Amino acid sequence: MVLQLSTFHWEGGAGVAAARLHQALLKSGIESNLLVSQLSGPQEHAHALANTKWESRKAWGRFVAERLHFLPFEKDKSIRFAFSPAEVGADISEHPLVRAASVIHLHWINFGFLSLQSLEKLFALGKPVVWTLHDMWASTGGCHYNRGCDHYLSHCQYCPYLRKPEQYDISFSQFEAKKSIYKEANITLVSPSRWLDETVKKAALTRHLPSLSIPNCIDTELFRPTGQLKARKALALPTDKKLLLFAGANTQDPRKGFAYLKKALEEFNPNSSEIEVLVLGKGNAQKFEDMPVKTHFLGKITDPNRMVSAYNAADMIVVPSLEDNLPNTIMESMACGTPAVGFATGGIPEMIGHLENGYVADAKSAESLADGIRWILENNAENAVSNKARQKVLDTYAEKVVAGQYSKLYHSLLNE
């Protein structure tokens, strides 16, 4: 039995990816259980660490304690959730599901779910551990993305996320703690993108560990083309406009690069009313009132069918992320036959075939982003780009394809 461990369940990119993989494994006949901090809804063989009000309070308390531990160190509140000290977490080494598991499969485990001490106790069980990395945290002294800092290549210290970067700061001590617990652990690191896998192979903490790349997966029966007109009517959107979608768990996160989309739209004729924007995700509608084109704020959508409608309603998705692994939003959009324009950052160029099923723009270039928007508008009249986008997902990210790769990995580890 494989046990998947994830802080979140159907929440955030990593939580969604973990739940989708669990679902794909079950469909492929692999015995899988998923253990999360708290359930977001019913799912077969999914279990919560917090099953009572008291346990839920304890889970919340661990999250608060984790953030309070970091508070004296943080540079400012803008990076509050960009660094995880992993000082507080639950000890699940004696949990029945952990004890019954043949393989332990970690996903994103921060925010008070598991601490470094929790990980050490899991590793000490001697079971094969697969760790799917949804950001850079496993390879750094605490940051989830390095933002240009290269200290993780040698030894984290003088961390730019901290109020007082020093030689022996909290990033140095976390780096040393990870180095110690990785030493004897039976871990295989899996990166959804080749970009992250290359980073893992270069990082001082992880370069000695076995690592490979297996992408996230998606249900291509759920996320599929359903017709643009039908989708727009369902969401009460205009049927005679070109609609550009911007989506993210937190649309106000600077890492998502919304400012570049705004600037790119200024490149278009201000008298043209052909283009309008859809914004999908957590945010504040007032933040989009000064857009150069009309903007429809859809807010956070949790209903999968409504989400599919949002992707189908758009002519393209624009993903100007400054740092990203393998964005679910691109995968979801392309599965629905909606092409993507994205910056050449992280794993994005692996997802988008430039001038084939979408457009890869120069990083941090609003002008190049605008060129990408124009290219899709000019080249997708007969759905040629849309069809190729859908096919890329079927070939690379479909549940059966990805579950097969993980099944092969599990069997190889057990046979060892």
Which domains are present in the chain?
A: 2-217+399-415 (3.40.50.2000), 228-396 (3.40.50.2000)
pLDDT tens across 307-332, in order? 999 999 999 999 999 988 899 999 99
Alpha-carbon distances, residue 191 vs 227, 323, 347, 392 (angstroms): 33, 15, 10, 19
Type of residue found at 355? L
| Alpha carbon distance 151, 206 (integer Å) | 13
Tokens of 392: 């890329």
**Tell me, what's the pLDDT at 358?**
97
| Contact present, 35 and 95 (Cβ < 8 Å) | yes
Q: Do 322 and 363 contact (CB within 8 A), yes or no?
A: yes
* Alpha helix (H) residue ranges in 227-301: 228-234, 258-265
The string of DSSP codes covering 62-99 is HHHHHHHHHTTTBS-GGGTTSB---------TT-HHHH
Its pTM stands at 0.92
pLDDT in tens, 103-118: 999 999 999 999 999 9
Beta strands in 144-294 (DSSP E): 187-191, 211-213, 242-250, 275-282
Percent of the chain scored above 70 by pLDDT?
A: 98
Q: Is the pLDDT of residue 271 over 80?
A: no
Q: Residue 97's pLDDT band (boundaries 50, 70, 90)?
A: very high
CA-to-CA distance for 125 and 360, rounded, in angstroms? 44
pLDDT confidence tier of residue 245, bands split at 50, 70 and 90: very high
Bigger pLDDT: 184 vs 344: 344
pLDDT over 80 at 146, yes or no: yes
Is the CB of residue 343 less than 8 Å from the CB of residue 362?
A: yes
> Pairing relation of β-strands 211-213 and 242-250?
unpaired
The pLDDT of residue 287:
76
Say what the pLDDT of residue 219 is. Answer: 98
Q: What percent of the chain has pLDDT above 90?
A: 87
The mean pLDDT of 144-167, rounded to a whole number, is 96
**What mean pLDDT do residues 64-76 have?**
95
Q: Nearest-5° angle of CA 388, CA 393, CA 395? A: 90
